[in-house]
Amino acid sequence: MIEARGLGKRYGSTVAVDDLSFDVRSGGVTGFLGPNGSGKSTTIRLMLGLDSGAGTTTFDGQRFVELDHPMQQVGALLDAKAFHPTRTARNHLRVLAAASKISKQRADDVLEFVGLESVAAKRPKNFSLGMGQRLGLAAALLGEPHTLILDEPANGLDPAGIQWLRSFLKDFAAKGHTVFVSSHLLAEMALMADQLVVIGRGRLITSGPVETFVSAASGTAVVVRGPDLAALREALDRADAKVTELPDGALRVVGLSQEEV
């Protein structure tokens, strides 16, 4: 679990993050939603102790700087271009692994997992943004952490890559792990997250179940009734729709149009 309390950051007279507090529960994906420039990246840097500022963040009761083995406990993706320009993708990960006393074999394992095994011997300076995001995720996964913090990880990914990312994060969280992922797109979060923390101009606007925000934003949901909806429920789950079973057995579907359902 992540607990952020009273986070604050100023740049001169500009307030980037203003007394921000929220919780991120284990066992689900929590989306961090806000427009570009709202303070999401600055907040994440404060959480990880990479920027000085007010407030504290604890990961299962400890601040990041207090963790005995940070990479084995918290994996983070902040910048898809954060790598040494002369190293190959494999060597970039091996250097990170060695610094945290992680087996160098993990570099090849995570490269294969994120689909970059074919370019392991190439320098990532020539990678596309999507490939850079995959390499950043591989670095976050090196230590097999229990918590992931990802800043706009879907940027640059193609539709298949976004679908893969959604499935992975949901599966990761379902194992009891903690996932905190930022985005400026509600539509993206509606298909990825269970809970949302919404900010604007560095301040908390609201937080709660993602269905609440999707329903409010769209104003509509599709309700399906019938004698046997099990097969439809399976198909909707595969389509990453948000499905709620109503008291009478009907299915309330958010994230797809009536025609798509």
pLDDT of 236 reads 85
Give the pLDDT confidence of 170-214 residue by residue, as tens digits: 999 999 999 999 999 888 898 999 999 999 999 998 899 988 776
Domains, in order of start, for the chain:
2-206 (3.40.50.300), 220-261 (no CATH)
Q: pLDDT digit string (tens) for 215-249?
A: 656 556 788 887 778 888 888 888 877 787 775 67
Beta bridge partners of 30: 180, 195
Query: Global pTM?
Result: 0.82
Say how far apart CA 66 and CA 146 lie, in whole Å: 16
Q: Is the dihedral of CA 71, 35, 216, 20 positive or negative?
A: positive
